[in-house]
Amino acid sequence: MEKDKESALDFYLNSSSDLIEKYESFTKIITNSAQCKKCQDVIVSNHRHDYVSCSCRAISVDGGKSYLKRSAVDFSHLIEKSSIRFYTIHEIMVEIKNCETQSGFGGDYYIKKKKLAEEFLQDSKAYYAIKEKDDIVSQLTQSLEIKRNAPKV
The arithmetic mean of pLDDT across residues 20-28, rounded, is: 81
Indicate the pTM of the whole model: 0.63
Instruction: Determine how β-strand 69-72 pairs with β-strand 59-62.
Output: antiparallel
pLDDT class for 131, splitting at 50, 70, 90?
low
The arithmetic mean of pLDDT across residues 121-133, rounded, is: 73
Contact (Cβ atoms closer than 8 angstroms) between residue 43 and residue 117: no
Tell me 50's DSSP state. Answer: -
pLDDT (0 to 100) of residue 117: 86
Helices (H), 60-107: 89-106
In sequence order, the 6+-apart residues with CB closer than 8 A to the CB of 70 are 34, 59, 60, 61, 62, 78
- How does pLDDT run across 63-114, given as a tens digit for each residue? 999 999 999 999 999 999 998 888 887 888 888 888 887 766 667 888 888 8
pLDDT (0 to 100) of residue 142: 61
pLDDT (0 to 100) of residue 8: 67
Q: How many helices (H) and strands (E) does the chain have?
A: 4, 8
